[in-house]
Amino acid sequence: MRKMVILLVLATIGANSLALQSPAPSVQKTPGRTASDRASERISDPEIIRRIDAAVYERSNALARYTVKEQYDIYRNGETSPSAQMTIRTVYSYSIGKEYTVTAQSGSQLMRSVVFDKILEAERDMAKASNREKVWVTSDNYEMRPEPGTIDMNGRQCVIVDLKSRRKSPHLFNGKVWVDASDFTVLRLEGIPAQSPSVFAGQTQVVRDYAKIDGFSMATHADVHSHSFLLGDTLMKIAYTDYQIERGKPAAWVPSH
């Protein structure tokens, strides 16, 4: 059970750890080229990485406080009904981190007390000001390799960036992030833990989708697929709704490299 708890913690990493919109990049358009050709043009890879880094810091500085309703549902071995559910109200503030209030829960008492409680405990710890930067999607924590060209996702042109963790940690991952090519807000994040939480645990896949809410890229849905010897195939779904966001005063950011 303990190994599954740690695996599921990854799903809660960071609606607050990713990009706020940043200024659109300046792209040199070539006369005579079609709109399709121009859409495929983009800035250099180092500049893409720099803008992703800047967006993370800008977001952290500008996001003073938010509240959100989070719905957690766990399904085991292909079951159509959840084994356990929990609804919480999350309050994030820049100075404090995250605080949680459980508003509803049902299903397996063991899953709720062991799995959900441990998830919230770990997320609360990672949201502290002293720990936030350790799990941010920045070049300090990841080797970033933008893939060539752009693709369409939900009507937005985006750049896919391959991510490789710079250190082993169950709170970082190896995977991909989709960023909007016009402002570098996050559209999707996919990955597996950079360090297996247990020698007995199988591979865990995390998929998280984002949407622009009041100018911020915020998580809207996440799926966590995992397999363990004790629990078998497990799917946890998280839905994020009813955001209330308070903007703070952005601070200047100077790249460290």
Structure token pair of residue 74 = 């766990």
Would residue 29 count as lying in a domain? no
For residues 34-46, average pLDDT: 60
Of 6, 76, 9, 12, the closest CA to residue 208 belongs to 12
Structure token pair of residue 18 = 């990713």
Indicate if the pLDDT at residue 253 is higher than 80.
no
Task: Report CA dihedral (199, 202, 203, 208) to the nearest 10 degrees.
Answer: -110
Would residue 229 count as lying in a domain? yes
- Count up the domains in the chain and report the number: 1
Domain that holds residue 119: 2-21+42-247
Main-chain dihedrals φ then ψ at residue 225, nearest 5 degrees: -100, 130
Confidence tier at 204 by pLDDT (50, 70, 90): confident
Please indicate whether residue 257 or residue 73 has the higher confidence score (pLDDT). Answer: 73
CATH no. for residue 92?
Answer: 2.50.20
For residue 201, the model assigns a pLDDT of: 58
For residue 197, the model assigns a pLDDT of: 61
Half-sphere exposure in the Cβ direction for 32 (13 Å, CA): 0
Confidence tier at 172 by pLDDT (50, 70, 90): confident
SS3 224: strand
Confidence tier at 85 by pLDDT (50, 70, 90): very high
Q: In percent, how much of the chain has pLDDT > 90?
A: 39
Would residue 31 count as lying in a domain? no
Cα 116 off chain centre by: 18
Indicate if the pLDDT at residue 243 is higher than 90.
yes
Q: Burial letters for 111-142: b for 16+ Cβ neighbours within 10 Å, e otherwise?
A: bbebbbebbbebbbebbeeeebeebbbbbebb
Q: Burial letters for 171-201: b for 16+ Cβ neighbours within 10 Å, e otherwise?
A: bbbebebbbbbbbbbbbbbbbbbbebbeeeb
Would residue 35 count as lying in a domain? no
Lowest mean pLDDT across 44-48, 130-134, 174-178: 130-134
Would residue 254 count as lying in a domain? no
Would residue 106 count as lying in a domain? yes
pTM: 0.78
Indicate if the pLDDT at residue 48 is higher than 60.
yes
Q: What is the pLDDT of residues 87-142, one digit of tens each?
A: 999 999 888 888 999 999 999 887 777 777 777 887 887 777 777 888 888 999 99
Structure token pair of residue 98 = 């995250």
SS3 123: helix
Q: In whole angstroms, what is the distance from residue 182 CA to residue 213 CA?
A: 16
Would residue 26 count as lying in a domain? no
Q: How far apart are the first and last CA of the chain?
A: 42
Of 135, 191, 206, the closest CA to residue 160 belongs to 191
Q: In whole angstroms, what is the distance from residue 226 CA to residue 47 CA?
A: 35
Indicate if the pLDDT at residue 66 is higher than 50.
yes
Confidence tier at 252 by pLDDT (50, 70, 90): very low
Indicate if the pLDDT at residue 202 is higher than 90.
no
